[in-house]
Amino acid sequence: MRAFMVERYGDQAGVRGGDVPDPKAGADDVLIRIHAASVNPLDLKTRDGEFKTILPYRVPFILGNDLAGVVVDVGVAVSRFAVGDEVYARPGKERIGTFAELIAVHQDDVAIKPATLTMAEAASLPLVALTSWQALVDRAHLRPGQKVLIHAGSGGVGTIAIQLAKHLGATVATTTSTANVELVKSLGADVVVDYTKQAFETVLHDYDVVLDPLGGENLTKSLRVLKPGGKLISIAGPPDAAFARELGANPIIRLAMTTLSFQIRRRARRHHVTYSFLFMKAGGDQLRELAALIDAGEIRPVVDRVFPFTETRDALAYVEAGRAKAGKVVVTMT
């Protein structure tokens, strides 16, 4: 099969397209012919080796973290799927590789594709939709009437998180550029801060939750908008000890992660709020719940641009250069 692989860590030059052996379905796996896959910042960080310590993929390895496609084979223990099913998935972090024609994925990480979506639209969702769910439902326990700030509302996570937060009954604020103010309003944002004109930390107050996909100084500023007891959840900030335990990391790595997040955790305590780092997990059950919301019209995907599979390297470069205006970038195999 054809695939795009990381042959060496570092940059775009380390990614190459080529032929590799077809994968086989294990006992609990579904073998999926991929019709579309999307590009995520996680792909760029993985390619560059930023997660080598915690995700030690052995080069060469196939890049890519989410997909939509059709089941072409199932393992002997698979009970949830049959050949011909249209599905979408975010493979487990140990088994990435969606920039390819085929992939074997554990059945627990797969769900039937939302019926109302095209393959390209469905492929744009798994990673960002699972991130939004795990941040707002599992971690924040967001309730009706609460206030949540979702940074980068026009981004891949932001466009889905805004819609999910509204479905959960929250009042939603978001940050975006002038060009995307109307888009985030159409997704349900109640309060929009144009970061080219205003500093969000000066106009927003008494929020229950902040979801941060940016990291850096944005984390410290976000502490100021939370009420006592509030929660700052970051998918870009420094990892913490809880994440290290979740990984089963060795004592040295646990200490390193604890040290990396020490400053932001100390500042959070001073504001009487909590900070936590989220690295989303694969989850077919959550994808099924999300599919129901999507087919009910509660959540819609936002796709910026679609590239053919042969131009996967160009799609990665497009995302890396920050050229996507809103939502996700997708590559299609057919």
Dihedral (CA of 189, 192, 196, 201) sign: negative
Q: Answer yes or no: same fold for 2-124+301-332 and 127-277.
A: no
What is the residue whose two structure tokens read 């698979």? Answer: 78
Structure tokens at 141: 């326990």
Residue 253's pLDDT is 80
Cα–Cα distance, 84 to 79 (Å, whole number): 14
Q: What is the pLDDT of residues 118-157, one digit of tens each?
A: 999 999 999 999 999 999 999 999 999 999 999 999 999 9
- Name the pTM for this structure: 0.96
Q: Which CATH number fits domain 2-124+301-332: 3.90.180.10, 3.30.1490.20, 3.40.190.10, 3.30.70.360?
A: 3.90.180.10
Locus of tokens 């970038």: 329
Please give the distance of CA 75 from its chain centroid, rounded to a whole number.
27
Angle, helix 284-295 to helix 126-133, in steps of 10 degrees = 100
Pick the closest to residue 74 from 95, 99, 105, 40 (CA basis).
Answer: 105
d(CA 161, CA 164): 5
Residues 225, 136: Cα–Cα separation, whole Å:
17
Q: Up-side HSE of residue 297: CA atoms within 13 Å toward CB?
A: 0
Q: What are phi and psi of 285, to 5 degrees?
A: -60, -45
Residues 42, 228: Cα–Cα separation, whole Å: 32
Task: For domain 127-277, give its CATH number from 3.40.1190.20, 3.10.20.740, 1.10.1740.10, 3.40.50.720.
Answer: 3.40.50.720
Closest listed residue to residue 29, CA positions, set 90, 73, 85, 89: 73
Q: Count the neighbouring beta carbons within 10 Å of the beta carbon of residue 220.
A: 16
What is the per-residue DSSP string for 179-191? GGHHHHHHHT-SE
> What is the per-residue pLDDT for 272?
98
DSSP 310: G
Distance between CA 114 and CA 107 in Å, rounded? 17
H or E element, residue 160 = helix 156-167
- Cis peptide preceding 60, ω within 30 of 0: yes
Which class for 185: exposed (0-12), middle (13-18), buried (19 or more C-beta within 10 A)?
middle
List of the chain residues with pLDDT < 50? none
Q: What pairing do the DSSP bridges indicate for beta strands 110-112 and 86-89? A: antiparallel
What pLDDT is attached to residue 249?
75
18-32 pLDDT tens trace: 999 999 999 999 999
Q: How far apart are CA 274 and CA 96, in angstroms?
A: 31
pLDDT score for 54: 78
Hey, where are the domains in the chain? 2-124+301-332, 127-277
- CB-based contacts of 225: which residues, under 8 Å, 6+ apart? 149, 200, 201, 204, 205, 206, 207, 210
State the pLDDT at residue 53: 80
